[in-house]
Structure 1
């Protein structure tokens, strides 16, 4: 091994491994979706089994994507590819991506978005944030989720609400703190919120930057996470 090989950055090796795992999980999710389509659950126990498999695979896949994105951000290899997009298309892409999960958990998703609403943003990055929120909501809501997009005082707001128990106080107090020990209900890493915060901060217009807000007692009675893009 020469000196250059000896100086190999382990974080690069880890990132490459994470990329391979992400691809494998993508294949697993596709296989699960096909299996559920061809063989719908015949009883409650099977439905619960599909629900657990769908949630865990979607959650891990989402976290791996976030890890790779944060790695690229740290190494200045991630740039915002801003273009004009129809917001409804971005939302529906994430709904399709998680269809097997919503079916297995019997979650009704309501979408409130003008088909003609468009905005300038990176659809891959914002789609990843929306996907992460949906996956977490699917785990902690009871049976309903709402995704609403609208213009609010010169910004685009994408609000995702559910009928669960709401966000814990620790998340409401410090949603953007990198070292906050928070979760959607009971302790977890802050990876999802850190990823969302970083992605939104990359979207800027003049002195304005994107940001997020958390609140309880949303339109469905549970928590609501709102993403704002300038």
Structure 2
């Protein structure tokens, strides 16, 4: 068996293992939610312990989903199914998905989106991007998050802002996130940004293509992630 076949076999086994771990972690998160409902926190220390457990489990689950999604994208196993979607519905769904996480971390979230706003995109892929960034922002924000969406001259823009320390300089200076190297040794693989960039690039309309943008000029004083869809 040559090296190429070995590499293909290993990548398939790795992807299958990630899929199994993701499913197991999903069951763990559901069980944790049931435990939290049945045995609510009795004090701040108890609530903080729940918050740490839920956040770390959600973060690992998100990382596994991103790894699996990146594998499928690189092997052309994912196609974007573009259709008209209500933006408010998509954002509300991701907020509800992380309601317990935001509640236990005492994070106040503001949603600014016109109920009539719609766009043409893959709701599952874009929903995954929003969820990934939302979970990540919950880690670094102090007490506030803001999600907004609006139609701009560059396309539909979905923004996620926080009141944390902002994005590091090396991420702001990256001209494109498609070439950002994963830094596993340093604990900062940036999988969420790699995934978000790939999803953005899958959305095209005539001569326009989706893209992402980061800056530290958030209205909340921290970092701001923007996803543009044509």
Partner of 2:162: 162
| SS class of match (2:16) | helix
Q: Per the alignment, do residues 77 and 39 of structure 1 end up closer, same or farther by CA in structure 2, a change over 3 Å counting?
A: same
2:114: which partner in 1? 114
Inter-CA distance 21–187: structure 2 relative to 1 (3 Å threshold): closer
* Cα distance change on mapping 1:84 and 1:93 into 2, 3 Å: same
Deviation by residue 1:45-103 (Cα, 9 ceiling, x = unmatched)? 11111111111111111111111111111111110011111011111111111112111
TM-score (norm 2): 0.91
Aligned to 2:181: 179
Q: CA deviation at 1:106?
A: 0.9
Instruction: Report the TM-score, using the length of structure 1 for normalisation.
Output: 0.91
With 56-65 and 186-195 compared, the bigger mean Cα shift is at 186-195
Secondary structure in 2 matching 1:9: helix
| Residues in 2 aligned to 1:9 and 1:77: alpha-carbon distance in whole angstroms | 16
Q: Counterparts of 2:7 and 2:154 in 1: how far apart (Å)? A: 49
Residue by residue, what CA displacement relative to the aligned partner does 1:157-177 show, whole Å, maximum 9, x if unpaired? Answer: 000001111111111111613
Mapped to 2, the partners of 1:82 and 1:53 lie a distance apart of 36
Q: How does 1:97-136 map to 2 (within 5 A)?
A: 97-136=97-136
Instruction: State the secondary structure of the residue aligned to 2:197.
Output: helix
Q: 2: distance between equivalents of 1:32 and 1:104?
A: 13
1:138-157, aligned counterparts within 5 Å? Answer: 138-153=138-153, 155-157=155-157
Map 1:54-133; keep pairs closer than 5 Å: 54-133=54-133
Matched position secondary structure for 2:149:
strand
- CA distance in structure 2 between the partners assigned to 1:179 and 1:8 by the alignment: 21
The separation in 2 between residues aligned to 1:9 and 1:207, in whole angstroms, is 38
CA shift at 1:34, angstroms? 2.2
Structure 1: which 5+ residue stretches go unaligned? none
8 A Cα contact 1:36 1:100, kept in partner: no
Structure 1 residue 8, shift from structure 2 partner: 6.9
> Hey, what does 1:34 align to over in structure 2?
34
1:79 & 1:217 partners in 2: Cα distance?
34
Q: Give the paired residue count.
A: 223
In the TM superposition, residue 181 of structure 1 has moved relative to its aligned partner by: 4.3
Asked if residue 189 in structure 1 is aligned to residue 189 in structure 2, the reply is yes
Structure 2 gaps of 5+ residues are none
Q: 8 Å contact 1:110–1:145 — kept in the other structure?
A: yes
